[in-house]
């Protein structure tokens, strides 16, 4: 028996997929109606989390944060079956994931943090990426079941909070990328360039393909071998800011990056590769 706690868009679609694959699933959500809606697909909903976990040997969670995970698990634990495995898909702090792993181990239960890069559609279709790390015997035992929930399971080794950290790193990149897209669209608006034209540019030219080379450049510390000098990159950032100011459109990401470039130019790095602004992170 599987219990699933947290029926947001992601959790609800995970449950539908589990049911479709022949599992019995008991569900709970703080807003009971969201759990009740899953009964139409074959789930059994409970108003109380203590009832939802009764008889379950595996408990999945998709909640909000560390505090909500801690609160729900503590309340539910009075009804845990001996040896219950807790699989937490919530995006949390790395510190929280490590603490929960040790806490529930001390109480006789297995806690595995398994955050995901998956949207609701991925959860429904069992596609996307799931991250795990920690006790390798635990992971080996449960990985076949996790693999049924997603396309890819990435194992980051024995440290019990690496998966949590990697999820935050991935989300940081997604947020930064989205801020860049927002700035690009804002500048396009100011320059009277259509979003269709912007889409055509990125459909033909994929800057994401440059990521491995950028990462290698930074981690290899070859800043003295520039492919784009910092001073020239700063000049271009200045042009972007000037055009945005002229056309009265906002830029969110570029101005603070330009300010960081100025700091490095003041340190004498103007002729270095522009990725030198990340130098302190690899020193």
pLDDT digits (tens, 9 = 90+) for 45-75: 999 999 999 999 999 999 999 999 999 999 9
pLDDT of residue 98: 98
23 and 133 both lie in a single domain: yes
275 and 205 both lie in a single domain: yes
**CB-count burial class (<10 Å; 0-12, 13-18, 19+) for 189:** middle
Which of 134, 158, 182 is the last residue in one of the domains?
A: 158
Q: Confidence band (pLDDT; 50, 70, 90) for 44?
A: very high
Instruction: Tell me how many domains the chain contains.
Output: 2
Q: Confidence band (pLDDT; 50, 70, 90) for 283?
A: confident
170 and 140 both lie in a single domain: no
Q: pLDDT by residue (tens digit) across 212-244?
A: 999 999 999 999 999 999 999 999 999 999 999
Token pair, residue 261, equals 């470039």
Average pLDDT (149-158) is 97
Report DSSP state, residue 14. Answer: H
106 and 219 both lie in a single domain: no
Residues 11 and 62 sit within 8 Å (Cβ to Cβ): yes
- Of all residues in the chain, what percent carry a pLDDT higher than 70? 100
- What residues make up the domain containing 101? 2-158
pLDDT of residue 67: 98
27 and 111 both lie in a single domain: yes
pLDDT of residue 4: 98
Q: Which residues of 145-183 are buried (b: 16+ CB within 10 A; e: fewer)?
A: ebeebbeebebbeeebbbbbbbbeeeeeeeeeeebeeeb
Residues 268 and 223 sit within 8 Å (Cβ to Cβ): no
- Could you tell me which residues are beta bridge partners of residue 28? 5
127 and 234 both lie in a single domain: no
Residue-wise DSSP of 130-165: EEE-S-HHHHHHHHHHHHTTSSEEEE--S-TTHHHH
Q: pLDDT by residue (tens digit) across 119-130?
A: 999 999 999 999
Can you tell me the distance from the alpha carbon of 283 to that of 272, in angstroms, rounded to the nearest whole number? Answer: 16
Q: Confidence band (pLDDT; 50, 70, 90) for 133?
A: very high
Residues 281 and 225 sit within 8 Å (Cβ to Cβ): no
């Amino acid at each position: 028996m599987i219990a699933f706690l947290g029926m947001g868009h992601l959790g609800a679609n995970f449950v539908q997929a589990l049911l479709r694959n022949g599992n019995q699933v008991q569900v709970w959500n703080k807003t009971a109606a969201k759990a009740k809606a899953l009964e139409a697909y074959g789930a059994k909903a409970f108003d109380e989390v203590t009832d939802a976990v009764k008889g379950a040997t595996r408990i999945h969670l998709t909640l909000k944060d560390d505090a909500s995970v801690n609160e729900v698990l503590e309340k539910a634990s009075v009804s845990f079956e001996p040896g219950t495995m807790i699989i937490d898909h919530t995006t949390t702090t790395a510190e929280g994931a490590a603490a929960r792993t040790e806490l529930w181990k001390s109480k006789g239960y297995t806690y595995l943090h398994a955050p995901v890069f998956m949207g609701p559609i991925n959860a429904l279709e069992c596609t996307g990426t799931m991250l795990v790390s920690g006790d390798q015997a635990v992971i080996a035992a449960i990985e076949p079941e996790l693999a049924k929930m997603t396309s890819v399971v990435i194992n980051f080794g024995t440290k019990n909070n690496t998966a949590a950290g990697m999820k935050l790193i991935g989300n940081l990149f997604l947020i930064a990328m989205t801020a860049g897209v927002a700035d690009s669209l804002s500048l396009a608006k100011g320059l009277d360039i259509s979003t269709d034209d912007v889409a055509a540019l990125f459909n033909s030219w994929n800057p994401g393909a440059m990521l491995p080379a950028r990462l290698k450049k930074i981690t290899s510390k070859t800043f003295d071998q520039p492919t784009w000098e910092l001073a020239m990159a700063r000049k271009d950032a200045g042009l972007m800011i000037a055009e945005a100011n002229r056309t009265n459109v906002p830029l969110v990401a570029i101005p603070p990056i330009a300010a960081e470039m100025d700091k490095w130019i003041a340190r004498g790095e103007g002729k270095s590769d522009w990725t030198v602004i990340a130098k302190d992170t690899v020193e």
